[in-house]
Amino acid sequence: MTTPLRLGTRRSPLATAQSQLVADALSVAADRPVELVFVTTAGDTSTDSLRQIGGTGVFVSALRDAVVSGQVDLAVHSLKDLPTAAAAGLVLAALPVRDDPRDALVARDGLTLQTLPAGARVGTGSPRRAAQLAAIRPDLEVVDIRGNVETRLAFVTDGVLDGVVLAHAGLRRLGRAGSVTEVIDPEVMLPAPGQGALAVETADSVESADSALMTALRSIDDPATRAAVTAERAVLSALEAGCSAPVGALAVVDEPGFHTPELTVRAFVGSADGRHAQRLSITAPLADAEAAGRQLAAKLLDAGAAAFLGEPAL
């Protein structure tokens, strides 16, 4: 009997749903059963705001430790939660095809960002979303919230808040896309670097010890997704900003067939109060994804973005 692969995941409904997607794909690719192993992270046990506990790594450190210690063979993360710095002993083995990277509004009475009344209370746990909401609609009250997707949706259905902003991909993966009242155009709100993408990490020793597993992992890796998120995460890394900083980035791959594939990267850095922001973009060959992200970050810093990165969140 073939020994199952142990796939580490957080226990939340969204993390479980995402990990099951990877488990199903990997089971087919590897022709081997895959079982989920639940791991509790610091982000799961704390009720404090992400601004207080620090967003970088709070949802992934325990999972990474489980891989390094051999408790699990692999771990699945939401890529937007993954620190940009490489982790000793680990390799980012697969980035499956990305889901919709955009943010989404779930509001009472079918309201949108433009039709929410002045003074409406909109919840988010993300400084990036909060900064952009404040810039788009300074007349809204942005409320800091925690909790899983269902908890956040309940804030609206129970009348506590007028709306919440969540990742569209997460709502889709949980079968809650029907709750969305507006999918927010990236021209209005840029998503977090890597939003909508999943990351599969394994021990670097697997590359030499288990070629069959690495072959299976490479088969579920999507090159276009990898190029796009490499550029986005390079922006974040070069800005020396963490996962909870008010930074947005989105790279779009263009493969028209009659010239070298390119990608266009857009990025945002803003002040917590929404009054100041820098938004720039760059287009580069697909093969230069990381360099393009770093170049865009340099342009943002030259334009004064550094002034926003060290300020306290609202």
Is 57 in contact with 233 (CB distance < 8 Å)?
no
Edge to edge, what strands does the sheet with 103-107 contain?
A: 141-144, 121-124, 163-167, 103-107, 182-183
Task: Show which residues are catalytic.
Answer: 80-81, 128-129, 146, 152, 243
Alpha helices in the chain (DSSP H): 13-30, 42-45, 50-53, 61-69, 127-136, 149-157, 168-173, 206-209, 211-219, 223-238, 289-302, 306-309
Calpha distance 206→196 (Å, rounded): 26
What gap in Å lies between CA 95 and CA 109, rounded to an integer?
A: 37
Edge-to-edge strands, sheet with 74-78: 34-38, 5-9, 74-78, 198-203, 90-94
- Measured CA to CA in angstroms, residue 151 lies from 101, 123, 137, 161 at distances of 21, 11, 24, 12
User: Of 133, 264, 115, 92, which Cα lies nearest the Cα of 181?
Assistant: 115
The span from the CA of 57 to the CA of 61, in Å, is 6
Q: Residue length, the chain?
A: 314
Q: Are 133 and 142 in contact, with CB atoms under 8 Å apart? A: yes
Q: Residue 183, SS3?
A: strand
Return the closest-CA partner of residue 103 out of 184, 200, 36, 194.
Answer: 184
Q: Are 40 and 11 in contact (CB under 8 A)?
A: yes
Residue 179 to residue 305: CA distance in whole angstroms? 35
